[in-house]
Structures are given as structure tokens and as C-alpha cells.
Structure 1
Amino acid sequence: MEILRSVVDYLLSLGAAIFVPIIIIIAGLIVGMKIKDAVSAGITLGVAFTGMTMLIGFMTGAISPAAEAMLETTGISLPIVDGGWTTMSTISWSWPYAFLMFPLMIGINVLMLVINKTNTFNADLWNVWGKIFTAVAVVGITGSVPLAFVVAAVQIVFELKCADAHQHRIEKLSGIPGVTCTHKMVFLAAIFYPIDKLLRKIPALDREFDAESLKDKVGIFAENHVLGFILGIVFGVLARYSVAETLTLAIQAATALTLFPVITKYFMQALSPISEAVSDFMNKKFEGRTLLVGLDWPFMGGSNEIWLAVIYSVPITLLFSMFLPGNEILPFAGIINIALAVPAFLVTGGNLLRMIILCTIGSPIFLWVGTAFAPFMTDLANQTGAVELAAGQMISNSSIDGPVFTYAFSHVFAFLEGNFIPAIILVVWIGCFVFYYKDLRREEKAANEACDVSGSEEIA
């Protein structure tokens, strides 16, 4: 067992850009791909992940100092350090029972595939730490390890069901067939769903308004490189940068927005042959079923709407952090909040105006949850030594994935001490999820029926 754990720990230490392609290569060989094709697809996927990671790091490195400069001008002091997702992952993996999450995740996935309760094969094993994080939170609240694994199991089931329901919309938005997202960040879409339903009733907000529509309205000013340059100028001015620093930031933002769609093409190049091989395999083994490959969010990174919403959310989050009652976290490492923009992208179908409204509404949620998680994440960091903290210093994350779900499921047992707020939030989230899930399924069914009718007419 210790040898196996050491091997897995080593593979995980290599990062998603290596670990996920290895899983994809193995999966490709299992479903009958030629070795050269499977290896080529795996390496290309590794290139895509690395490219996306480099770009996100590049953009974070450019924008974070500007965001910090904006906060420094206010003189506001917030005591909780934002360690970002990497620090939360490090702390989560320091939990003594973390390794056991792998067999739990794989076992539930295989069981649900066998009994036909999901069509998603979750290849995103590297992000198992998200389940560990939830489990750690449950232990921090209840002290119960068995309960922690029960809650983690529930999260795994929801991730698979959510991936099934989103696949049709994800394929439509990304153009990549047979692939879906198994990351828990999409859980926030359930909360956004009823708000978006209301927004759709407003005539001005129900019109098509994605990045392409924006180009039609404002021409060159909506081109990726020009729009990035303009946003960089705005950030530089807000941060009170010098002219040279502002222009440098503008070019950096323009570079990032220009290259994101380029990198996404490599995801398509890697995943298309794997998707086809998996589909052929399932048709042979299970007639009438289509197996979906579940991955992390970056394959959707070519959608400009996501990045426009992310950049917009930076000053909004900073503004909220200064004046939001109950917030004590200083947003920094998590300031590029993908977990806010991706759910808004999915629930609106890429409508940029509604995405901006949802991101504005969603920003405070991340700050409140980040503040709520600080005490026990700090305790775990101090107990394990996973992260070195100064005396009295607290740490958390201002962009915790699926914040409503994670907070509600980990804190629900606080009702035993008379705190019913997490339980109420849990009921609300489940209700929203059920309605959103049914809506996605109806959308998929309608699209399939329309496709069948179209096909019949072509044959006739």
C-alpha cells in the first residue's frame, strides 16, 4: 500500500499537464486506439494544459500586482491571506486519509457506469484534491472521518450527474464533441440558474450577446488584442501605474486574450480522436450508449466570454472586499477567478451581459466562503506544516470552487449546535440543482429531436 501511495504521490507531483495525459493515453489504448495515435493525443493534451497554465500564470502575474496596488491605495487591512487553489491543494493533500479518495472516486464512477446512472468517465483524476478539500472541511467542522468520506462520495455523484447534463451545452459552446466538465466549479451554475431565468425575461438581456455579437456592434474595439489592450489601460490607470507600466500591462493583457483561443485548438486536436475512439468502443460494448470523457475546465478556455468576465470580476471583487460586511479575506492569489466565470458562461450560454451581472452577484459569495473556511484551513496548515504561517496569521482562498455547495455540505452539521443557516443553504442549492438539471435535460432532448427530424428530412 505504501509503495502504491508513493507512486501515485509521485505522479500527482508532476501536475495535471503530465498526469491527465497519462490517464488519457491509457484510456485511449483500452478503447482500441493505435499506440501512436493515443500517445500523440496524450502529448498534445499535455501541450494544451501546459500552454493554458502558462497563459493563466502570465495573466495572473500581470494583473495581480495591479490589483494589489489598487488595494494599497485604499489603506484597508484584511487579516486573512489568500493562498489560492495551489495552497489549498497542498493543505488538502497533507490530510492523512487523502490517498483513500482515489479508490472512492474511481469505484463510484465505475459503479455508476455499470448500472447506467452516468455516461461520464472522469479522466480528471488529478483534481481529486477537490473532494479531499471538502472532506477536510467536514472533518474540521464535525471531527468525523467517516462522515467526511460520505460527503465526498455525494460530491462525486453530483459531479458525474452535472457532467452528464452539461455535455450537450458544453459541446455547443466549445465545439468539442464527447467531452464534458467534471470539475465542481460548475456547481455554482445551479445558484445562477434561477437568477438567469429572471434576467432572460428582460428584453434587452435576452438578445444574443456573445463576443462575436460584440464585434458586430463595436468592430475593431471587440477584437481580442484591442479589447485586451483597452482593459490593460483601464487596470493601469486604476492602479495608478506610470505611463510605461500601464502600456506594458496593456500589451500583456492583449497578448493573453489573443493567445487563449489559439491554445484551445490544441485541446480540440487532442480530444477529438479520443472522443471518437471512446464512442466507437461504447457502441460495440453497450449498444445505444455514448461514453463521455470528463475533464477539467481548460478545454473551454477558447471562449472569449470567459476571459472578459474574469477580467471584469477583478475590480468588482476588490471593491467588494473593501466594503462587504463579514469579509476578512484579502483577494490576491485567487483574484483570477475562473470558478466564477465558467459557471456564468455555462448557465447563460455565453451571453456576456448576463455573465457580467451574474459575476457581480457571485463575487461576494466567494469572499464570504473564503472567510468562513479560514479557521480550520489555518489549523490544518499549522498541524501538518504543509504551509508555513507567521504567528496569528490565517490563510484561505478567495476563489473556492463551487463555494455554495462546498460551504453548505461541509457546514451542514452545524445545525447540531443550533446554526441552521448552512442547512437552509443546502436545501436551496439542491432545489436549484434539480430544476437546472431538468432544464438541461429538456434542452438536450429538444436538440436531439430537432436533429432527428433534420436527418429524416435529408434522407427523404
Structure 2
Amino acid sequence: MDIIQSIFQYILDMGAPVFVPLIMIVVGLVVRMKFKDAFSSGLTLGVAFIGMSLIIGFMMGSIGPAAEQFVKNTGIKLNAIDGGWTAMAALAWAWPLAFLMFPLQIGINLIMLAIKQTNTLNVDLWNVWGKILTAVIVVAVSKSMVLAFIVAAIQMIVELKMADINQKQIQKLTQIPGVTSTHSMTLFGVLLYPINRLLDFVPGMNKHVDANWLKQKLGVFAENHIMGFIIAALIGIFARLSIPEILTLGVQGAAPLTLFPMISKLFMQALSPLSDATSEFMKRRFKGREFHIGLDWPIMAGCNEVWVTTIILIPIMLGLAVILPGNNVLPFAGIINLSVAVPALIVTGGNLLRMIVLGIITTPVFLYVATNIAPIVTDLAKTTKSVDVPSGQMITWSTIEYPDFRFIFARAANGEILWILGALIWIGLFILYYKGMKNRNNKLDKEDEGLGRIA
């Protein structure tokens, strides 16, 4: 078993920018792409991941300190440090049984493909760490290793079903055919969907406001770089920075919003040939079935609405962190809340106004779950020695992905009646989401048929 664990660890140490492209090259060769084409697509995908990581890292590194200074200026003492996803990933991989998640995820995917319960081939194996973190939290709460793997398996099944039902919407948003996202952060859409439906009855919320609409109405002020500059500069003002520091922060905020659309083109360049080859291969062998490649969330990074939403939510999250009673989390490393922006993009079909409203409404969910799990995560960090936690403080993740699912199912696994009921309600909301998105897909199909007849 130690040998198997060492092999998995060796591969994982390469990192997602190497690990995922290698898998994609193998997939390309299996579906009969020429080696040079498969290698080129895989390498381009790796470059896209590197570019996206660099920009997000730069964004957090520049805006994060200003955000932290803003909270310090309030005089509020928050002793749960936000370690972001990297600290949680380190904690997850330190779990002795972490490597068993790989065969479990692959096995579930293959079984569901064989019995026609999914049309998605999940190649985003790097993000198996998310399922490991879920299992680690369940073990910490329930003390049951078996229930930890059961909850992780439920997560794997649901994320494949989400990938299936979200595919048409993701393709419409990204213009990349044959791909979908199997990242589990889409699970938060289960909670966002009914709230989004309620917004149908709020005056003014039925207008589709996206980045293009803003450009038409606001002109140059809706350009990515201008919006990035203005919002980042405002954060600098709230943090009481000097004028040179505010201007510098403004330019640093403008840079990512300018570069993200450029990086997204690399994903399209890498994935389109792979998608076409995979589609043709599957059509020859499985007539009547349509297959999709499941990938990480950055395939949607070219949608400007994601980044405008995350930046606007920064001062809102900081303000709520200060005023919410019972919150103990100082947002820092996880201050860019992609965990709400990405599922909100899918749920709203890219409606920026609704994305921001959904983000505001659900931000307390992230902060309270992060506060609740801080003692658990801190204890695990100290036990595994995977993350260094300063004395007298705790560590957590302010924008923990799919906080509702993790919190509810961990408590349910502990046998708490209230949360068992909560888990059943969550499953009911998932069914509601699935049916709602299926109806939306049917409308998209009818629109496509209409356009085909006109052409």
C-alpha cells in the first residue's frame, strides 16, 4: 500500500499544470489524435493553467493585504486565519487514506458511464483533493471512516450529474464545445438555484445584465481594466492607504481583469481539438450517445462576469466579516470568492446583477461555516503538522467550496437528526435544480433548432 501511495504522491507532486495536461495527452492519443496534436493541446492547456494560477496569485497577493488592513482598521479581533484553498489542500493530502480517493472516483465514473447514468468523462483528477477534504471533515465530526468515504462517493456522483446538466449552459457561456466542469464548487448551485428563482419576482431583476450590457450603458467605465482599477482603488481607500498605494492597487486590480480573457482563449485553443476528437471517437463506438469531457472551473474564466462579481464582493465580505455576530474569520487568502461566482454564473446564465445579489445573500453562509469548522481544521493541522498555525489562533477557509454540502452532510454523518433532515432537503433541492436546468436546456435546444431553420 505504501508503494501505491508513493506512486500517487509522485504524480501529484507535479502539480495540476503538469498532471492534467498529461491526462489530456493520454486521452488525445486514445481517441486517435496525432501525437503532435495531442501534445500541443496538452501543453497549451498546461500553459493556460499556469497563466490562470499566476494571475489569481497576483490578484490575491495585491488585494489581500489591503483587505486585511481594512479589517484591522475596524479594531475587530478575528482570530481564525483564512488559509485559503492551498492550506486546505495541504491538510487534505496529509490524510493517510487520501490516495484511495483516486480509484474510488475513477471507479464511480466508469460505472456511471457504463450504466448510462452520466455522459461525462471526468479527467479533472487533480481536484480529487476536494473530496478528500470532505472526507477529512466528516471523519473529524463523525469519527467514522466508512461514512467519510460514503459522503465523498455521494459528492462524486452528484458532481457528475451536475456536470451533465450544466454542460449546455457552460458551452453557451464559454463557446467551447464538448466540455463541462466537474469541479465540485458547482454543487453550491443547488442552494443558489431556488434563491435565483425567487429573484424572478423582484422588480428589476429580470433584466439580463452582463458585461456586454454594462459596456453599452456605461461605455469606457464598464471596460474590464477600468472596473478593476475603480474597485481595487476603492478597497485601498477603505484600507486607508496612501494615495500612491491606492493608485498602485488600482493598477494591480486592472491587470487581472485585462488578462483573464486573454488566458481564456488558451483554454479554447487547447480544448477544442481534444473535444472534437473525443466526440468523433465516441460517436463511432457509442452511437446515439453524446459524451463530454469534465474539466476544472477555469474553462469559464473567460466570462468577465466572474471577475467583476468576485471583486465587488470583496468589500462586502469584509464588511460582513466585521458586523456579523458570531463570525470569527478574517478573510485573506480566500478573499476572491470563486466558490460563489462560478456556480452563480451557471445558475443565472451570466446575469451579473443576479450574480452579485446571490453573492451578497450567501456570503454569511461561507463565513459561518468557515467559523464553525475552524476548530476542526486547526486540530487536524496540528495533528498532521501539514500547516503551521500560530499559537492562540485558528486556521480555516473563508470561502470554502460548497460549504452547505460539507457542513450539512458532515453533521448528518454524526447522526444529528436536524442535519439528517437537512441532508434530505439538500437532495430535494438538487432534484429541483436538475429538473430546472433540464427545462432550461430544452429551451436552448428549441432556440438552436429555430436558428437552424432560419439559416
Q: Which amino acid aligns with 2:150?
A: V
Hey, what does 1:438 align to over in structure 2? Answer: 435
Q: State the 1:380 CA deviation.
A: 1.4
Match of 1:403 in 2: 403
Q: Distance in 2 between matches of 1:12 and 1:119?
A: 26
Q: What is the Cα deviation at residue 195 of structure 1? A: 1.1
Shift of 1:167: 0.4
Q: What whole-Å deviation, never above 9, does each CA across 1:213-257 have from its counterpart, x for those lacking one? A: 001101010011111111122111111111111111111111111
> Could you tell me how far apart the structure 2 residues matched to 1:217 and 1:122 are?
40
Contact 1:83 1:334 in 2 (8 A): yes
- Name the amino acid aligned to 2:140: G
Q: Does 2:219 align with 1:219?
A: yes
Instruction: Determine if the alignment matches structure 1 residue 327 to structure 2 residue 323.
Output: no
Mapping for residues 177-216 of structure 1, pairs under 5 Å: 177-216=177-216
Q: Show CA shifts across 1:341-388 (max 9, x none).
A: 111111111111111110001111111111111122112111111112
Report which stretch shifted further, 119-128 or 441-450. 441-450
Shift, 1:47, TM fit: 0.5
* Map of 2:309 onto structure 1: 309
Instruction: Tell me, in whole angstroms, the C-alpha distance in 1 between the residues paired with 2:335 and 2:448.
Output: 41
Identity %: 51
Amino acid paired to 1:388: D
The one-letter code matched in structure 2 to 1:252 is Q
Question: Is this contact kept in 2: 1:329–1:367, CA < 8 A?
Answer: yes
Alpha-carbon distance in 1 for matches of 2:291, 2:212: 31
SS of alignment partner, residue 180 of structure 2: strand
| Corresponding pairs, count | 455
**Is contact 2:225–2:257 with CA below 8 Å preserved after alignment?**
yes
Q: Give 2:124's aligned amino acid.
A: D
Task: Give the gaps of 5 or more residues in structure 1.
Answer: none
Partner of 1:47: 47
**Partner residue in 1 for 2:83:** 83
2:417 corresponds to 1:427: no
2:274 counterpart residue number: 274
Q: State how far apart, in whole Å, the 2-side matches of 1:256 and 1:392 are.
A: 35
Contact between 1:82 and 1:397, CA under 8 Å: does it hold in 2? Answer: yes
Q: Distance in 1 between matches of 2:28 and 2:448?
A: 28
What is the CA-CA distance between 1:396 and the residue it aligns to?
1.2
What is the one-letter code of the residue matched to 1:426?
A
Structure 2 equivalent of residue 451 of structure 1: 448
* Aligned positions of 1:347-366 closer than 5 A: 347-366=347-366
SS at match of 2:400: coil
CA shift for structure 1 position 428:
2.8
Instruction: Kindly report the root-mean-square deviation, in angstroms, between the aligned alpha carbons of the 2 structures.
Output: 1.4
What's the CA shift for 1:449?
3.7
Q: What does residue range 160-175 of structure 1 map to in structure 2 within 5 Å?
A: 160-175=160-175
Provide the C-alpha distance between the structure 2 equivalents of 1:175 and 1:313, rounded to a whole number of angstroms. 26
Q: Secondary structure at the match of 1:95?
A: coil
User: Counterpart in 2 of 1:372?
Assistant: 372
Q: Distance in 1 between matches of 2:59 and 2:448?
A: 40
Deviation at 1:185, TM superposition (A): 0.8
Distance 2:274 2:307 in 1: 27
Match of residue 19 from structure 1: 19
Alignment-derived partner of residue 28 in structure 2: 28
Amino acid of the residue matched to residue 448 of structure 1? D
Superposed counterparts of 1:227-246, under 5 Å? 227-246=227-246
Structure-2 separation of matches of 1:294 and 1:326: 38
TM-score (ref. length: structure 1)? 0.96
Give the residue type in structure 2 aligned to 1:323: I
Contact 2:147 2:413 in 1 (8 A): no
Equivalent in the alignment of 2:384: 384
Shift of 1:394: 1.7
CA shift, 1:420, in A, is 3.8
Cα distance, 1:98 vs structure 2: 0.6
Whether the aligned pair in 2 keeps the contact of 1:404 and 1:425 (CA below 8 Å) is no
Shift in Å at residue 456 of structure 1?
5.3
**Which whole-Å CA distance do the structure 2 matches of 1:279 and 1:413 have between them?**
40
Secondary structure, aligned partner of 1:294: strand
TM-score normalized by the length of structure 2: 0.97
Give a deviation string over 1:93-133, Cα, whole Å, max 9, x none: 11111110000000000110111100111111000000001
In 2, are the aligned partners of 1:193 and 1:436 still within 8 Å (CA)?
A: yes
Inter-partner Cα distance in structure 2 for 1:132 and 1:110? 19
Distance 1:253 1:142 in 2: 42
CA–CA separation in structure 2 for the residues paired with 1:76 and 1:402? 27
Deviation at 1:454, TM superposition (A): 4.5
Residue type of the partner of 2:423? L
Question: For 1:102-181, what aligned pairs fall within 5 Å after superposition?
Answer: 102-181=102-181
The aligned amino acid for 1:34 is K
CA shift, 1:444, in A, is 1.5
Quick one: which amino acid aligns to residue 304 of structure 1?
N
Give a deviation string over 1:146-177, Cα, whole Å, max 9, x none: 11111111100001000000000000011111
Question: Aligned to 1:118, what secondary structure does the other structure show?
Answer: coil
**Structure 2: any 5+ residue segments left out of the alignment?**
none
Instruction: Give the aligned residue type for 2:199.
Output: L
Q: In 2, distance between residues paired with 1:373 and 1:456?
A: 54
CA distance in 2, matches of 1:213, 1:125: 37
8 Å contact from structure 2 (residues 187, 402) kept in 1: yes
449-458 vs 181-190, greater mean Cα deviation:
449-458
Structure 1 position 83, deviation (Å): 1.0
The CA distance in 1 between the partners of 2:390 and 2:251, in whole Å, is 37
Q: Which amino acid aligns with 2:340?
A: L
The answer for the alignment partner of 2:293 in structure 1 is 293
Task: State whether residues 335 and 399 of structure 1, in contact with CA within 8 Å, keep that contact through their aligned partners in structure 2.
Answer: yes
The one-letter amino acid of 1:430's match is: I
For residue 426 of structure 1, report the CA deviation from its aligned partner. 2.0
Q: Is the 8 A contact 2:68 2:330 kept in 1?
A: no
In 1, are the aligned partners of 2:122 and 2:182 still within 8 Å (CA)? Answer: yes
The one-letter code sitting in structure 1 at the alignment partner of 2:48 is A
- On the 8 A contact 1:179/1:275 being kept in 2, the answer is yes
